[in-house]
Protein backbone atom coordinates (compact mmCIF):
# COMPACT_ATOMS: atom_id res chain seq x y z
CA UNK A 1 0.00 0.00 0.00
CA UNK A 2 2.93 2.39 0.53
CA UNK A 3 3.68 1.88 -3.19
CA UNK A 4 0.24 3.35 -3.86
CA UNK A 5 -0.50 5.87 -1.13
CA UNK A 6 2.85 7.62 -0.72
CA UNK A 7 4.47 10.03 -3.15
CA UNK A 8 8.04 9.15 -4.18
CA UNK A 9 9.84 12.32 -5.27
CA UNK A 10 12.88 10.65 -6.90
CA UNK A 11 10.72 8.93 -9.50
CA UNK A 12 8.00 11.59 -9.54
CA UNK A 13 5.43 9.14 -8.37
CA UNK A 14 2.33 10.97 -7.16
CA UNK A 15 0.54 9.92 -4.01
CA UNK A 16 -2.55 7.76 -4.35
CA UNK A 17 -1.69 5.92 -7.51
CA UNK A 18 0.23 2.70 -7.92
CA UNK A 19 3.89 3.02 -8.75
CA UNK A 20 4.63 1.88 -12.30
CA UNK A 21 7.33 -0.38 -10.90
CA UNK A 22 4.97 -2.14 -8.50
CA UNK A 23 3.75 -5.58 -9.38
CA UNK A 24 0.66 -5.25 -7.21
CA UNK A 25 0.33 -8.11 -4.75
CA UNK A 26 3.85 -9.32 -5.50
CA UNK A 27 6.32 -6.51 -4.93
CA UNK A 28 8.74 -4.03 -6.37
CA UNK A 29 10.09 -4.86 -9.81
CA UNK A 30 13.18 -2.73 -9.28
CA UNK A 31 13.79 -3.78 -5.68
CA UNK A 32 17.61 -3.79 -5.94
CA UNK A 33 17.56 -0.31 -7.48
CA UNK A 34 14.58 1.24 -5.72
CA UNK A 35 14.88 4.92 -4.68
CA UNK A 36 16.25 6.01 -1.33
CA UNK A 37 12.79 7.06 -0.11
CA UNK A 38 11.60 3.50 -0.61
CA UNK A 39 14.70 2.03 1.04
CA UNK A 40 14.34 4.23 4.09
CA UNK A 41 10.62 3.84 4.66
CA UNK A 42 9.41 1.39 7.27
CA UNK A 43 5.75 1.59 8.14
CA UNK A 44 4.65 1.20 11.74
CA UNK A 45 3.23 -2.23 11.02
CA UNK A 46 6.79 -3.40 10.41
CA UNK A 47 8.20 -1.53 13.39
CA UNK A 48 5.79 -2.32 16.20
CA UNK A 49 6.01 -5.61 18.06
CA UNK A 50 2.77 -7.45 18.52
CA UNK A 51 0.68 -5.55 16.01
CA UNK A 52 -1.99 -7.93 14.66
CA UNK A 53 -1.65 -9.44 11.20
CA UNK A 54 -5.11 -8.14 10.26
CA UNK A 55 -3.86 -4.57 10.72
CA UNK A 56 -1.33 -4.98 7.90
CA UNK A 57 -1.67 -2.07 5.44
CA UNK A 58 -2.89 -4.20 2.55
CA UNK A 59 -5.75 -5.38 4.77
CA UNK A 60 -6.68 -2.01 6.30
CA UNK A 61 -5.81 0.18 3.28
CA UNK A 62 -4.08 2.47 5.79
CA UNK A 63 -0.31 2.96 5.98
CA UNK A 64 0.94 4.21 9.33
CA UNK A 65 4.14 6.13 9.80
CA UNK A 66 5.76 8.46 12.30
CA UNK A 67 6.05 12.12 11.36
CA UNK A 68 9.40 13.26 9.97
CA UNK A 69 9.92 16.02 12.48
CA UNK A 70 8.27 14.72 15.64
CA UNK A 71 8.89 11.04 16.10
CA UNK A 72 5.96 10.76 18.48
CA UNK A 73 3.15 11.64 16.10
CA UNK A 74 1.52 9.02 13.91
CA UNK A 75 0.44 9.77 10.37
CA UNK A 76 -2.30 7.58 8.90
CA UNK A 77 -2.16 7.60 5.08
CA UNK A 78 -5.57 6.41 3.95
CA UNK A 79 -6.66 5.07 0.61
CA UNK A 80 -9.21 7.64 -0.66
CA UNK A 81 -11.37 4.70 -1.76
CA UNK A 82 -11.68 3.73 1.93
CA UNK A 83 -11.64 7.10 3.71
CA UNK A 84 -13.05 5.87 7.02
CA UNK A 85 -11.00 2.71 7.54
CA UNK A 86 -8.61 4.52 9.88
CA UNK A 87 -11.35 4.97 12.46
CA UNK A 88 -13.50 1.90 11.93
CA UNK A 89 -13.75 -1.27 13.95
CA UNK A 90 -10.98 -2.92 15.92
CA UNK A 91 -8.28 -1.25 13.83
CA UNK A 92 -9.69 2.22 14.46
CA UNK A 93 -9.88 1.57 18.19
CA UNK A 94 -6.35 0.21 18.27
CA UNK A 95 -5.04 3.18 16.25
CA UNK A 96 -6.63 5.77 18.53
CA UNK A 97 -5.37 3.97 21.65
CA UNK A 98 -1.86 3.62 20.25
CA UNK A 99 -1.71 7.21 19.04
CA UNK A 100 -2.98 8.39 22.41
CA UNK A 101 -0.15 6.58 24.17
CA UNK A 102 2.44 8.27 21.96
CA UNK A 103 1.11 11.74 21.46
CA UNK A 104 -1.69 14.24 21.70
CA UNK A 105 -2.32 14.26 17.95
CA UNK A 106 -2.96 11.90 15.11
CA UNK A 107 -2.50 13.13 11.54
CA UNK A 108 -4.86 11.66 8.96
CA UNK A 109 -4.07 12.08 5.25
CA UNK A 110 -6.66 10.97 2.74
CA UNK A 111 -6.18 12.31 -0.78
CA UNK A 112 -6.32 16.10 -0.53
CA UNK A 113 -8.03 15.91 2.83
CA UNK A 114 -5.66 16.35 5.77
CA UNK A 115 -6.78 16.57 9.33
CA UNK A 116 -5.41 16.55 12.84
CA UNK A 117 -7.26 14.45 15.36
CA UNK A 118 -6.72 15.80 18.83
CA UNK A 119 -6.53 12.97 21.30
CA UNK A 120 -7.40 13.00 24.95
CA UNK A 121 -4.12 13.62 26.67
CA UNK A 122 -1.05 11.72 25.57
CA UNK A 123 -1.23 10.72 29.22
CA UNK A 124 1.21 7.84 28.93
CA UNK A 125 3.80 9.86 27.06
CA UNK A 126 7.20 9.72 28.76
Smallest gap from residue 99 Cβ to ligand SF4 (A): 25
**Least Å distance between CB 110 and ligand SF4?**
19
Q: Does 63 bind ligand SF4 (CB under 6 A)?
A: no
Out of 1, 5, 21, 99, name the contact with ligand SF4 by CB under 6 A: 21
The span from the CA of 53 to the CA of 9, in Å, is: 30
Closer to ligand SF4 by CB, 22 or 96: give it: 22
Q: How far is the CB of 26 from ligand SF4 (least distance, A)?
A: 10
Secondary structure of residue 32 in the 3-state scheme: helix
Among 5, 38, 76, 95, binds ligand SF4 (CB under 6 A): 38
Q: Which of 7, 15, 16, 22 binds ligand SF4 (CB under 6 A)?
A: 22
Applying CB under 6 A, which of residues 5, 9, 26, 28 lies at the interface with ligand SF4?
28
* Three-state SS letters, 48-65: CCCCCHHHCHHHHCEEEE
Residue 35: how many CA atoms within 13 Å on its side-chain side?
14
Helices of type H across the chain: 2-5, 36-40, 44-47, 57-60, 89-102
CB 83 within 8 A of CB 102: no
Does the protein bind ligand SF4 through residue 30 (CB under 6 A)?
yes
Residue 109: in which H helix or E strand, if any? strand 105-110
Give contact residues for ligand SF4 (rule: CB under 6 A).
Answer: 3, 8, 13, 19, 21-22, 28, 30, 34-35, 38
Amino acid sequence: MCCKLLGIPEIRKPANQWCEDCNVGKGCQIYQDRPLSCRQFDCLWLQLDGIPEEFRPDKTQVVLSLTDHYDEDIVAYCDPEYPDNWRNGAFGQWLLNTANKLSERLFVVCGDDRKVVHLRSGANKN
